[in-house]
Amino acid sequence: MPDAPTGPKPPGSVLFLCGQNVIRSPMAEVIARDLLPKSVFVASAGIKPGERDPFVDAVLAERGFSLGSRSPRLLDELEDAYFDLIVTLAPEAHHKALDLTRSVAADVEYWPMPDPTTATGTRDQILAAYRDVASRLDRRIRERFAAAGDRPSPPT
């Protein structure tokens, strides 16, 4: 039987926070739920309203994931805004998280991610920008939580 992981334990709860909770943060939430131990509560939210992005659904489906009927959520709509770790994925979300943590004890990490909505060209070129963000998030989540005994890296 393999030895138990000896690295730091993962946080008990992680919030991925972005501008509108339509692209980067819901992708991160779905990927993290798959990679992190089931004991870790994972959520995502935005700081301003947004509409669901069909390119996110397409890219997640390629990876075998789905958002189901989930709609973008605002930070203010979360039942519990107390998280051990808040990962911000856009500058405006990072500023909001820093303001929030003045009154709440939580670690905040900024993982700048490109905005794939700025991509132009064909549908395939635009999808490539979304795939790139999903890959970056996957890699960053694996790297950040690897010491906590998460799943191994995917085969190359």
Condensed to tens digits (0 to 9), the pLDDT of residues 102-119 reads 877 889 999 999 999 999
**How much is the pLDDT for 15?**
96
Residue 10 has pLDDT above 80, yes or no: no
114 falls within a domain: yes
As a whole number of angstroms, the distance between CA 156 and CA 83 comes to 33
Q: Strand, helix or coil at 150?
A: coil
The span from the CA of 34 to the CA of 28, in Å, is: 10
% pLDDT > 90, the chain: 74
Structural tokens at position 1 = 């039987």
Look at residue 152 and tell me if it is in a domain: no
Decide: 135 and 59 in contact? Cβ < 8 Å.
Answer: no
Query: What is the model's pTM?
Result: 0.86
pLDDT at 5 over 80: no
pLDDT tens-digit profile of 116-147?
999 999 999 999 999 999 999 999 999 998 85
Report if residue 1 sits inside a domain: no
Flag whether 131 is in a domain: yes
How far apart, in Å, are the Cα atoms of 140 and each of 35, 74, 108, 110, 121?
A: 11, 23, 15, 11, 27
Integer CA distances (angstroms), 69 to 4, 28, 57, 95, 138, in order: 37, 17, 11, 29, 22
Query: What is the tens place of the pLDDT at every residue in 74-84?
Result: 998 987 768 99
| CATH code where residue 19 lies | 3.40.50.2300
**Domain span at 30:** 13-146
Count the domains in the chain: 1
